[in-house]
Structure formats: structure tokens, C-alpha cells
A = this chain, B = another copy of it.
């Protein structure tokens, strides 16, 4: 098959790769219907996370089951499935509490890489959720988004305790931040303030349910959020970037007793104890346990209630994956969908 490898900073290659095979009896092999480039893929792409040896890329996927291992009981050949970037048994105590990303059997969901024609999926019964029937092609982008970007935005909103009547601030206007807006709207938020300077992203934010746009950043951004919330700050803040500045902006934009849900991978971030102590915010986040939310998200998508697939503003053949990375790196695209 063909698949995507990263050899070093900005060196993405679409090349011949071994066909994935069943390794563990709980594995499945899927034929990718669609895959995409993640904001987190840009960390190694940019060389911030160094690439020690060439690695298979991609962890967001939807596809058709080609084969299952002998211990797979529920997932069947021919099903259209959505899965998460972490494989989970979905039966352990941690999974049952909703933290499938910390499953006692946790492992990468698509260890052979999902930016490929085929992928091996670990712990198939726990990891994959099938659709009742083959979905229409126009639903595929949204179903794909559920596997990470939308699922991550949803978790961020949930971790930020978004609910009816709440004022929500969103730090980050990438795919995850925008999906956080859509999730917050679904959860009944009254007001959704998005921090963004990009007209195209602002437009999609408003379409997804944002009520206010703040273009200021840092202390000025915080001051603006305070001004919009009678000096108190947001009830719930979604942090979808993962830098020191964005994390501080999120904490400071939140009122005492409010909640910050953070899903940006915290690179070189340190939280100072004393100001955090007095901020009185709740802080929760990490890698999104997408699996917890998949059934609910997929139902909303299959019923046409939401269309998170709109975050894909660039669609390319999988063979042009390198251009997909470039477009996101240069912020020409919010998120690139790849068609195998």
C-alpha cells in the first residue's frame, strides 16, 4: 500500500509501505475512507518534536473494516467505523469512568499510521464504533472529524463544564477551537466568545455558534473578555493551543469558580502555583477521550444536526499529503482532509 512517513522537519513523503496485517487477535484492518492532518502533527513537522527515526503519520480515521482478528467479537468486516487516536478496551475501570485515553491497555489507535490506504487498528472492539449503515459520502468529513478534532473540541467544552446559560471563551481558532465552539453551542452555552484574528476562521466560528469575536491577545485579550463579562471573566474557557501564553490567557479569562478545559498539548508550559491558587479556577484536560463521546457525536452527525466537517477547508488526494501539511503549517488551511 501507500502511506505517509515523516523523515524530519518538513520532510513528509507519500511512499510504498508494507500492507498492515493482524498482529494481535484483537486487531482489525480498515481501508481508509478519509483521513486528515492534525494540528498536533505540526509539532514534529516543524521539528519542535524532533524526529529521531522516520515515522508513520496520521491518527484520525474512518474506513471500512477489511479483516478482524480472531478475538474481535463485535466489529465485523464491511462495517463503516470511526475510531479514536488512542486504542482502548472500553471495559476497564478507567474506560468505564470515561477516560479511554488512559485505558489500562492504552496504545496508539492506528499504530501503522492513518494517513495511508490501510491501517491496523488495535483493540478493535473497544476502539471502533460502527455506523448502522454505510453513510452518505457527504457525511464522511464530519464523521472523520469526530475521530479527533471534533471529539477533542467536545471534550474541551465538557472539561470546561459548558452548559446552559454559561458564557464560554475559546482560546485558539484552529480546528479544535472551532469545534469547541460547535460543541459549546450544542451544550447550550448562552454566549461564546472566540479569540481570533483570521476573518475566515471568525466566519466559521460565527457559523458554528460564536456570539462574539475578540481579536486582542495576551493581557489585552483578557481585559476584553473581562469587559464582556461585567469584570468577572468567562464561566468556561476552552484552551485549544497549548502554549504558555494561551494557557495563561485561558486561566486569566476565567472567573473564580469557573472551569478551564485544556486540550492543546502543553509544550514548555509551566503553571505557577501562587497565581493559580488565587485564580480559583478548575483546570482539567489532556488528550481527549474521544471514545466516550463517539456515539453521541455520531448520532448528531448522522441525523444531520451538526456539520463539524466544515473545519476541513482543504481537500486533497492522499498522494498530495505533503501539500496538506504545508497548507496547515502556513495557515493557508484550517485543516486538510485527505482522500485515499
Tell me the A residues contacting B by CB distance below 8 Å. 93-94, 97-99, 101-102, 104, 230-232, 242, 247, 255-257, 262, 265-274, 276-287
Contacts and interface: CB of A to CB of B under 8 A. Distances in A.
A184 B281 CA distance: 22
Given A102-B257, A104-B231, A247-B273, 4 more contacts: A94-B232, A99-B280, A269-B272, A281-B284
Dominant secondary structure of chain A at its interface with chain B: mixed
Contact of A274 (B97, B231, B266): B266
Contacts of A266: 273-274, 276-277
Copies of this chain present in the complex amount to 2
A9 to B, nearest CB: 20
Given A257-B98, A276-B271, A277-B266, A284 B282 contact: yes
A87 B97 CA distance: 39
A97 B257 contact: yes
Contacts of A274: 265-267, 269
A286 B277 contact: yes
Contacts of A277: 262, 265-266, 285-287
5 contacts: A94-B256, A98-B257, A247-B273, A265-B274, A279-B286
A273 B267 contact: yes
Given A93-B232, A270-B271, A286 B282 contact: no
Nearest to A266: B273
Contacts of A280: 99, 101-102, 286-287
Contact of A283 (B102, B269, B278, B282): B282
Contact of A287 (B101, B271, B278, B283): B278
Nearest to A284: B282
Contacts of A104: 231-232
A194 B101 CA distance: 29
Contact of A255 (B94, B255, B262, B271): B94
A336 B270 CA distance: 37
Contacts of A102: 255-257, 280
A219 to B, nearest CB: 20
A265 B278 CA distance: 9
Contact of A284 (B231, B271, B283): B283
Contact of A99 (B98, B256, B269, B270): B256
Nearest to A106: B256
A266 B271 CA distance: 11
Contacts of A247: 273
Given A94-B255, A232-B94, A273 B283 contact: no
